[in-house]
Chains A and B, each alone.
Chain A
Amino acid sequence: MGEQMASTGQRICLWTAPVVGAIWVVCFFLFPGFTAPLSPTLPAKAVAAFYADPDNLARARYGMILFNWFGIGFLPFYALITVQMERMAHNSEVLAYGFLATATSAAVLISITILFFQIAAFRPDRDPAIVQLINDMAWMTFTVPVSFLMAQAGILALAIFLDRQPKPIYPRWIGHFNVLVIPLLAPCVFASIKLTGPFAWDGIWSYWVRIGLYVVWTIVMFVAVMRAMGRTAETPALTAAMPALGTGDA
């Protein structure tokens, strides 16, 4: 119900999220390297063969084209979160802007990842050592930069905990949830040094848990944002909403 009270623009931003999410799911199943992640231990020839394989090649190309179109597709949704954060009882917009900045950086990384995959699939008869190099770069940029997601979650959590008003924009447990995401994502950085094991870029943790976390986070935030939309429509100006902190300040 709260949703109807929000502006058209906000509603559009909200509903881009499930649409983009659905497209990303399609991309996931299209690219054969996602449904069965390529092992870092594959020798160069095997990597080249993977891309050259006619069954894989078409799926890789078209899947990645689709992914390229919608790679930064969540940015309007993040922008909506930013707008909602500006309605929190903060003293300044720093947390909202910080969130937007980290979200933008994260989105840029996804775009770069996609570019590398596309380049690999562009010329399958390339020197295998080069194909492996490009593939390596793609997987590195896909897996290792979790820090942006961690920073994004961190600043959102901070914002939620500092949203001290009678009816906060998001319930506090969302803040705790975002804090939880941080240590869960952190081990993915080990994909930069491990070729095998759960933390390699095809490993249980760095791949499946990471992707699962991202899906869960997106769904949770979607519901939270939707619930908050009516809430933000009711929120008066920041300064009026700010409760007295500490001992009666002027």
Chain B
Amino acid sequence: MSRQGAMIAGPPPGIKFPARLAWHWQHNRQIELWIVWWSMPVFYQIFTITYFVFARTMPPPPPHWNVAEIRDWVALRHSGIDIGYILFYLTIGLPGWHIGLIATLLKRMTISPAFAYAYLGTMAAGTVPGALLNGFGYSLLALRPGRDPAALAFLYEFANLTFVGTMGVFFVASFILVVAILLDKNDILPKWFGFACIWNLTTEFTVAPAWIFRHGPMTWTGGISFYWNMVVYGTWQIMYFVVFYKAIKKIPSNLSRPAARAEPVSLSARGSS
């Protein structure tokens, strides 16, 4: 198959940076895929800065704190939480773009398109509790510092548990990826990555005890359920970026749609819905 590729010949030599982008916008047939791909590292950068630098709500504080400790800790981070989460709230919509990218790649595999739709549905519905609720929990803690202690403790646990403990979505989504990649005969994504997604699946198991323990290595901030999990997840996430980058580069640019969709769907009034 001709790989004459994403760009006809690449931008003319000597073009400097801003003009180069304009050239890609005009001529790169895969520009939509690349824009969407780039939205992910951008989002994750902002996400990381929000949680680890501004708000410093990651790594999470321990579950066994009492109300006074929580209040003090939130007070210290008040402005950081405000700024950090504003950035986060502005960009949390971006992962939806990337979900579309993965669904597109899944669609190009030899397995049923149901996998693509299942993935899209699962992740689109599920990424919401995974991160946004954490933000709301902390924002509400910061918004009303004088809140009733029971409500305060609730919000603290709500914020941390929803973030670390949202398991089913990513479990199912990873499972879909594993099966799809391993069964795919088109090698859209490499087989080793299919296996690597199993690790991501495993992290959803190791995080489950965070819903039970308030002390020890298996709490929402524990050595096993949080830190080691983050090592596994972080490694997987890096592999993920690399793998998708390469997958897009492999897509022939002049005919990206699978052959089955080449015929237009009959849209005449007599046609079926």
Contacts and interface: CB of A to CB of B under 8 A. Distances in A.
Direct touch of chains A and B (CB < 8 A): yes
Contacts of B111: none
A66 to B, nearest CB: 22
A40 B139 CA distance: 13
Interface residues of B, number: 70
A96 B100 contact: yes
Interface string A84-111: 0000001111111111111011101100
A232 B267 CA distance: 8
Interface in A1-20: 4-10, 12
B143 A233 contact: no
B148 interface: yes
Contacts of B8: 245-247, 249
B103 interface: yes
B262 to A, nearest CB: 5
Contacts of B127: 105
Nearest to A104: B124
B224 interface: no
B32 A90 contact: yes
B155 A133 contact: yes
Contact of B262 (A190, A235, A239): A239
A250 B272 CA distance: 36
A129 B85 contact: no
Nearest to A112: B128
Given A100-B120, A101-B123, A193-B143, A7 B269 contact: yes
A103 B234 CA distance: 28
A145 interface: yes
Interface in B130-183: 132, 135-136, 139-140, 142-144, 147-148, 150-151, 154-155
Interface string A130-173: 10110011001100111111111011001100100000000000
A192 interface: yes
B93 to A, nearest CB: 3
B99 interface: yes
B167 to A, nearest CB: 17
Contacts of A99: 100
Contacts of A233: 267-268
Interface in B226-273: 251, 253-257, 261-264, 266-269, 271-273
B19 interface: no
A159 to B, nearest CB: 8
B94 interface: yes
A129 B269 CA distance: 57
A75 B142 CA distance: 34
Contacts of B254: 239, 249-250
19 contacts: A5-B268, A40-B143, A91-B30, A91-B33, A92-B251, A94-B32, A97-B116, A98-B100, A102-B93, A104-B120, A129-B151, A132-B151, A133-B147, A147-B89, A158-B32, A192-B85, A192-B86, A192-B139, A245-B8
Given A133-B148, A162-B32, 17 more contacts: A9-B273, A92-B33, A97-B120, A99-B100, A104-B121, A106-B93, A129-B150, A129-B151, A145-B89, A189-B89, A190-B86, A192-B135, A193-B139, A193-B143, A236-B264, A237-B261, A237-B263
